[in-house]
Structure 1
Amino acid sequence: MMRFPALLTGAALAVLMGAAGCQRPADVPTAAGPPPGLPPGPPAALPDSLVLTPVPAVVEVPDTLRRAIAQLHAALGPAAAALRPAVLEQACVGYLTLRRTDPSFRAGLLAVADMDLPNTEERLWVLDLKNAKVLYRSLVAHGEGSGHLRARRFSNQEASACTSLGFYRTAGSYDGIHGYSRRLEGLDKGENANAYNRYVVLHAADYASPAYVRQHGHLGYSRGCPALPPEQFKAIISTVQGGTTLLLSGPGLHSRWLDGPVATRRFLARGWG
């Protein structure tokens, strides 16, 4: 995937400057109101509001499984504190449903990215479910077409440059223009099923690094790939070998794999294995 770093829009830059305590230019009205003599106008639009979108609970998840997921979240410890419980629930239900449907999915390993979080946060987790351990947590970029600080638009279409939400199965690794990379198979028809043909893959990118955030105040953007920091990509890509379940979660996620009853039957029979 090609690198397409982008600058923040003026509005988004103003938000960041305010958050950082930067001095406001003299000709910009302050929060106290408009200049004397002008009628009050609507509040300024915040295209990259940091108020996260509420995540609906997965329907028909029995209390037995819901408690087990809550216990897992607590056992994962501080490294998973920013992983929202409802997103973890989505990921676990999908993982269990996929494992019941196809046991060849890798047992006990789950990767989940909350693409609603700002791209300045480490919003990708690789989890060892059996040992309740966070193996990796890292930054991850979203597509140029999906938004700025947060991914707000998603598409399965060719040339959209958007992130596609849904469940993925990791496939083979290869050496491409970004070096060591891993193919992804989208498992949700209409949501991410074009990912393989779009070459949406895991790969490294310098615009997905902490250094880029320090310099620009945000990550750069891919053409839809969940691009990883150069410091971590080899370890992450090596760990999520073919057959690993990956969820890219975000506003408007729809997936046939969010099947609470099926997931529960799998959990009661085999646990997280």
Structure 2
Amino acid sequence: MFQKIVLSCLLLFFPISHISNTNREDNSVLSSLPVSELAAGEQLYEEMGLAGTVNFIAFRQAVAGYNRIQGKKKPILTLIDFSKPSTEKRLYVFDIDKKELLYSSVVSHGKNSGDNYATSFSNQTGSYKSSLGFYLTENTYQGKNGYSLILNGLEKGINDKAKERAIVVHGAAYADPSVIASGRLGRSFGCPALPQTLTKPIINTIKDGSVMFIYANNANYLAQSNFLKTTTRSNSSNL
């Protein structure tokens, strides 16, 4: 009860437009995360001036998970917001320490996740779908799609087969904004594919131990994700 009262007081300091974005799925996160973690995400959103650019709910969840992942090696957070269509910028790279938005870009989703919107997700090999949740970035390599970045999926049963599925960050001609004239961005086999002009600078910024969070307004994900529950703080410290 005390936490709910404190949370209500804290929310008074934030514009009502942010509160109106809250949905039922995010309410479950509100009830499980400590007030201090919620307040930290809300304050950072304000200080970075992200209103009107970045989805408040997606950002708050991303920051909550970012703060719980102890294995990260740099203060960089990438948010991919699949509640937005592929025709809009929905990948954001933040420097959390400097409180800066470094990059924003369109990004492709898996061909079987949906048409213009990504609405279906999978952890299964051969599904050609995107996977939600938290990742740590690893090393780069030169592959069939050029300069690419390995992703380590941190959530069992949700995205932990990312390496097995070869889900990586890479550039692609079908992810260029010019393709949007056809009605949507091109789609991948499940990888978050970037415009080729932004591939190298974004990968070089986020490689080697930064956090990535792929978000969607998805109740099933929230019910399973350990990073958005208070009961898993001790478990996440081992990552």
Q: Same fold (TM over 0.5)?
A: yes
Residue range with higher mean Cα deviation, 66-75 or 239-248:
66-75
What is residue 13 of structure 2 aligned with on the other side?
none
In structure 2, distance between residues paired with 1:260 and 1:139: 32
TM-score normalised by the chain length of structure 1: 0.71
- Structure 2 residue 40 is the aligned partner of structure 1 residue 73: no
Contact 2:41 2:64 in 1 (8 A): no
Matched, 1:231 2:197: yes
Q: CA deviation at 1:112?
A: 0.8
- Does structure 1 residue 96 correspond to structure 2 residue 67? yes
Give structure 2 stretches of 5+ with no counterpart: 1-22
Cα distance, 1:120–1:54 mapped onto 2, change above 3 Å:
farther
Are 1:259 and 2:229 counterparts?
Answer: yes
The alignment status of 1:163 with 2:130, answered yes or no, reads yes
Determine if the alignment matches structure 1 residue 134 to structure 2 residue 106. no
Amino acid at match of 1:165: L
Name the structure 2 match of 1:119.
86
- Tell me how far apart the structure 2 counterparts of residues 131 and 54 of structure 1 sit (CA, whole Å): 32
Amino acid at match of 1:184: L
Q: Which residue of 2 aligns with 1:152?
A: 119
Please name the residue that 1:249 is paired with: 215
- Deviation, 1:206, is 1.0
Name the count of aligned residue pairs.
Answer: 206
> What amino acid is aligned across from residue 48 of structure 2 in structure 1?
L
Work out whether residues 38 and 64 of structure 2, in 8 Å CA contact, stay in contact via their aligned partners in 1: no
Structure with bigger gyration radius: 1
Q: Which residue of 2 aligns with 1:206?
A: 173
Task: Give yes or no for contact 1:185–1:196 (8 Å, CA) kept in 2.
Answer: yes
User: Where does the alignment leave 5 or more consecutive residues of structure 1 unmatched?
Assistant: 1-52, 267-273
Q: Aligned pair 1:222/2:188, yes or no?
A: yes
- Assess, with a 3 A threshold, how the Cα gap between structure 1 residues 117 and 123 changes in structure 2: closer, same or farther: same
State the shift of 1:83 in Å: 1.8
Q: Structure 1 residue 209: deviation in Å?
A: 1.2
How far residue 81 of structure 1 moved from its aligned partner, in angstroms, is: 2.8
Deviation track 1:19-41 (CA, whole Å, cap 9, x = no partner) reads xxxxxxxxxxxxxxxxxxxxxxx
Q: CA deviation at 1:65?
A: 2.6
* Matched position secondary structure for 1:195: coil
2:140 is matched by which residue type in structure 1? Answer: S
1:64 Cα deviation after fit: 2.7
Superposition CA RMSD, Å: 1.9
Of 82, 86, 105, the match for 2:53:
82
Residue-by-residue CA offset, 1:115-138 (whole Å, 9 max, x unaligned): 121011110111111111001111
Q: Distance in 2 between matches of 1:180 and 1:237?
A: 8
Instruction: Judging by fraction of residues, say which structure has more helix.
Output: 2
How far is the alpha carbon of 1:260 from its aligned partner? Answer: 4.2
8 Å contact kept, 1:62–1:261: no
TM-score (norm 2): 0.81
Match of 2:157 among 187, 190, 195: 190
Q: Percent identity?
A: 37
Distance in 2 between the 1:164 and 1:199 partners?
Answer: 12
